[in-house]
Amino acid sequence: MPASSSTSVGLSGSFGGLVARRQAEGTLVVQPRMGFADPAKMRAGLIAAKHARACTVGTITLDSYTRMGDHASVLAALDRGDELNGYPIVGHGVATTRSVTHGVAERDFPIQVRHGSADPRSIVTALLAVGLDATEGGPVSYCLPYSRTPLARSVEHWQESCELLAAARTQDREPHLETFGGCMMGQLCPPALLVALSVLEGLFFVQHGLRSISLSYAQQTSAEQDTEAVTALRRLTAELLPDVQSHIVIYSYMGVYPCTPAGARRLLAESVRLAVATGAARLIVKTSAEAFRIPTIEENVLALEEAALVASAARDAPAPWGMSAAPGTATGTGGTGIYAQALALISAVLDLADDVGRALLLAFSRGYLDVPYCLHPDNAGRSRGYLDSAGRLQWQRIGSMPIRHLAEVPAQTRMTSAGLLDSLSFVQNKFDHAGLARSIGS
Amino acid sequence: MSTDQSMNTQQGNPLAVVVSGLSSDAHTWNLVYMQLVLEELGHTVTNLGACVAEEELAARCRTIQPDLIVLSSVNGHGFQDGLRAITALRECPELMTTPAVIGGKLDIVGGDPTMIGQLLDAGFDGVFTEPQALSAFRSFVAFVSDATVETGAGAGEPSAADVRPGPATVTSPVGA
């Protein structure tokens, strides 16, 4: 990564360039999830994020009608004055969106458009038209969990979208694309597969013209295991994507969130420390309102400022679990083998075809990639993850994934409905109950 | 799919169950959970996954000919989406009397007292929305399972306890 980050030439005005500059300064970039249908409120949210006491970038999260490409429903809702769960960038049109970002988006405050679509072509066209050039997703990560779109169609749509983004490159404009592959399903996907999907989608982006990308990883259930995973992701990025500008982005936990404010803050803080300890450049935060509803602008600002404070403290202190990186991950020989499993998955996929998109399709049809608990028709659905007694995500079944020689799979366990509920609420309980124990003890 | 097979009748009969999400709902953990609950009760599940439009739901159920249809939704649109789904199912002659239930978090406010009645009137045989609904759901499934006896056609009444009418008796996927 250090080598790849230094290749920015004339990119300082773009998303990836800004993040690289902040990383060089030793500052973690923090970013909200935020989207409002009302243009004035959307602008207010961006301005609040910009002026938060933290090093921030902006977010425009789109609504689910726009995600599905159902722009007629957007227009009908706007006509009726109905609430939408995000900003409809296609429906609002260029002039309105320009009035939202004008004077807010600038060199030191780039804005990323976040959507969740398996067909983002109209979204990419809309964001480029207003002068934005950063977005996120991926042909696998925005198809399998949230849609019924056939994977082959998603790959085509994403190839076109990458080409649209890449074609907008100018001397001082470098479009940026982040893979959501490291966040698949939010929870219960063992880290090696998250790392592999993140890298594979990054390779897909680069094959279709992107030169500035970020690779994601969502905080899971064990800080130590997450540290090993992100270290593996950084190493694989440096090895397989050496010629593009890239950085790592961490997502605060995406599963069932703690109910108590203190539990939510502790979980956020742990994700910040993960980002700092692993040399990630950017963090997508969650708020203490997350378990109940869509957070307000103010709650987002509080989360951003809290994350910045924890990051600043963590920079000067060793990681709380006593290691700055998991043992052996630098060489790939130790740890729990996340690097080796991820590399085996990536290699097996890339061996299937020179074209990354085609390789991904073949890999899913053969079950070489098989996302646990994912019900999409193009996912084999033969793998399972589970939480071991130490709170680490492990494989329970690997289906046809080519990691049999690398993964320990228990002989006779199976996921029960009660076990699934326990696993899904493990993090919520752990962080909420830590507060309970403290208040009882005090 | 409609293959007769010998049944283990000790605890009712294994059912062929379709579990499905609704058109606007991308959530899937609820569907995975319901599949595990039903499999633990000895039934065979075809899980259609998230964002299933009512036309697709009806088409898949006509092919599968399940003994029970379980719809689950948690995004707050389940009431509206569920009404459309059950209407589409009941318009298919093959599915007019197939036991069908819906559950989860079906509206945004969680308090419409007429919602359950409207869903039942539209053709559902059970609506499960309370925190303690899982116990009631298990009891319902046992009821269907016990009633799905090794005889031929049911009476054809649109009751939850009925075997769906037709030439096949109890069905579950071959080899289940």
| pLDDT for the residue numbered A7 | 38
pLDDT band at A321 (very low <50, low <70, confident <90, very high): low
Q: Inter-chain contact A376–B49, Cβ cutoff 8 Å? A: yes
Residues of A in contact with B28 (CB under 8 A): 145, 373-375
Cβ of residue B49 closer than 8 Å to a chain A Cβ: yes
Scan for tokens 């207010």, then name that residue. A44
Domain map (residue ranges) of chain B: 47-72+91-130+140-167
pLDDT band at B40 (very low <50, low <70, confident <90, very high): very high
| CB-nearest partner of A417 from B24, B33, B49 | B33
Q: How far apart are CA B77 and CA A423, in angstroms?
A: 26
Shortest distance, CA A319 to any CA of chain B (angstroms): 33
Candidates 1.10.10.2520, 3.30.56.10, 3.20.20.240, 2.40.50.100; correct CATH number of A2-315?
3.20.20.240
Instruction: Report whether pLDDT(A319) > 70.
Output: no
CB distance A135 to A124 below 8 Å = yes
SS3 A399: coil
SS3 B59: helix
pLDDT band at A3 (very low <50, low <70, confident <90, very high): very low
Residues of A in contact with B47 (CB under 8 A): 375
Which residues numbered 58-117 in B keep a CB inside 8 Å of some CB on A? none
Chain A CA closest to residue B25? A146
| CB-nearest partner of B29 from A148, A416, A424 | A424
**Can you state the angle between helices A223-240 and A261-278, rounded to 10 degrees?**
40
Residues of A in contact with B72 (CB under 8 A): none
Cβ of residue A417 closer than 8 Å to a chain B Cβ: yes
The least confident of A49-63, A162-176, B126-140 is B126-140
For the segment A401-425, what is each residue's pLDDT rounded down to a tens digit?
999 999 988 877 788 999 999 999 9
Instruction: Report whether pLDDT(A67) > 70.
Output: yes
> How many angstroms separate the first and last alpha carbons of chain B?
11
| pLDDT for the residue numbered A68 | 86
**How much is the mean pLDDT over chain A?**
91
Per-residue DSSP letter, A25? T
pLDDT band at A358 (very low <50, low <70, confident <90, very high): very high
Task: Pick the closest to residue A137 from A214, A226, A71 (CA basis).
Answer: A214
The least confident of A79-83, A102-106, A163-167, B166-170 is B166-170
Instruction: Report whether pLDDT(B3) > 50.
Output: no
Task: Pick the closest to residue A58 from A4, A100, A5, A12 (CA basis).
Answer: A100
Cβ of residue A420 closer than 8 Å to a chain B Cβ: yes
pTM: 0.87
| pLDDT for the residue numbered A40 | 97
| pLDDT for the residue numbered B164 | 37
Instruction: Report whether pLDDT(A330) > 70.
Output: no
Average pLDDT over residues A242-258: 95
Q: Inter-chain contact A421–B33, Cβ cutoff 8 Å? A: yes
pLDDT band at B26 (very low <50, low <70, confident <90, very high): confident
Q: How far apart are CA A40 and CA A366, in angstroms?
A: 48
pLDDT band at B1 (very low <50, low <70, confident <90, very high): very low
User: For chain B, what percent of residues have pLDDT higher than 70?
Assistant: 76
User: For chain A, what percent of residues have pLDDT higher than 70?
Assistant: 91
The least confident of A92-101, A298-307, A426-435, B102-111 is B102-111
The least confident of A2-16, A246-260, A379-393 is A2-16
| CB-nearest partner of B36 from A146, A374, A415 | A415
pLDDT band at A10 (very low <50, low <70, confident <90, very high): very low
Instruction: Report whether pLDDT(B87) > 70.
Output: yes
Chain A CA closest to residue B48? A375
Q: Highest mean pLDDT: which of A124-138, A253-267, A313-327, A419-433?
A: A124-138
| pLDDT for the residue numbered B111 | 64
Average pLDDT over residues A112-139: 97
Task: Pick the closest to residue B41 from B131, B139, B163 (CA basis).
Answer: B139
Average pLDDT over residues A323-343: 67
Cβ of residue A373 closer than 8 Å to a chain B Cβ: yes
**Which tops the pLDDT comparison, B170 or A185?**
A185
Cβ of residue B51 closer than 8 Å to a chain A Cβ: yes
Instruction: Report whether pLDDT(A211) > 70.
Output: yes
For the segment B127-162, what is each residue's pLDDT rounded down to a tens digit?
998 777 888 999 999 999 998 865 433 333 334 333
Shortest distance, CA B30 to any CA of chain A (angstroms): 10
**How much is the mean pLDDT over chain B?**
80
Average pLDDT over residues A324-332: 45
Q: Residues B105, B107, B111, CA angle at the centre, nearest 5°?
A: 100
Q: Inter-chain contact B33–A420, Cβ cutoff 8 Å? A: yes
Interface-testing mutation among B17, B36, B54, B57, with chain A (most A C-beta atoms within 10 A): B36
pLDDT band at B174 (very low <50, low <70, confident <90, very high): very low
Per-residue DSSP letter, A258? P
Residue B21 tokens read as 């999400």
